[in-house]
A = this chain, B = another copy of it.
Amino acid sequence: MDAQTDRHRYHHGGLRTALLDAAERSLRERGVAQLSLRDLAREVGVSHAAPRRHFPERQDLLDALAEAGFGRLGEAIRHAVADGDPDLAARVSRASSAFARFATENPALLELMNATKHQPEKTELTSSVEKAFEPFVDLIHEGQDRRLIHSGPHEEIGLVLYATINGLATLVNNGSVDADRLEELIDAAVRQFLRGTAP
């Protein structure tokens, strides 16, 4: 089964990930409304019905994209927290900036990640948003341990910070606020946050 360089083996081999890659590009370049399964199929070189094997409905693809987005966002934030000045305030600031950067670099993806989900019906395992705001919660928790942040439900405090950055990024992404003001807004938000949560 040596891979022919010809792109026409009957079985694509990695169709699912190929679709997700193509979808992510399409999403970034043309927005979610323009994202079409048939389009992706053409781009990847399979028939228009092939994607159905991996994503029975269009929304399933979008869900997978959002899921992956949360993973990448969480990782980006974790990295930002890990590298550099270990001062807590500095790390909170870097985490927030990393979030903001991700958001402005992937506006359509963020929109998808924030989109109202259909009924999760039943299980839906766990909202993968956790992956993204976990680093924030962890940061709060550590801050509390070191008496830099007042005691209280750390998950709640982390959520508020996450929501603030998310909201500011949204305002920039939809054009309500000039992009070059984002940094200063994030900065102000972080300072206010730290002041508001000081012991």
Contacts and interface: CB of A to CB of B under 8 A. Distances in A.
Given A192-B193, A193-B196, A164 B173 contact: no
A192 B160 contact: yes
A162 B168 CA distance: 9
Interface of A: 31, 107-108, 111, 114-118, 120, 124, 127, 129-130, 152-153, 156-157, 159-160, 162-168, 170-171, 173-177, 184-185, 188-189, 191-198
Nearest to A33: B59
Contacts of A197: 192, 195-196
30 contacts: A107-B116, A111-B114, A111-B116, A114-B170, A116-B173, A116-B175, A127-B175, A129-B171, A129-B174, A130-B176, A153-B188, A156-B185, A157-B192, A159-B185, A160-B168, A160-B188, A160-B192, A162-B167, A163-B170, A163-B185, A165-B167, A166-B167, A166-B170, A166-B171, A167-B170, A192-B196, A195-B196, A195-B197, A196-B196, A196-B197
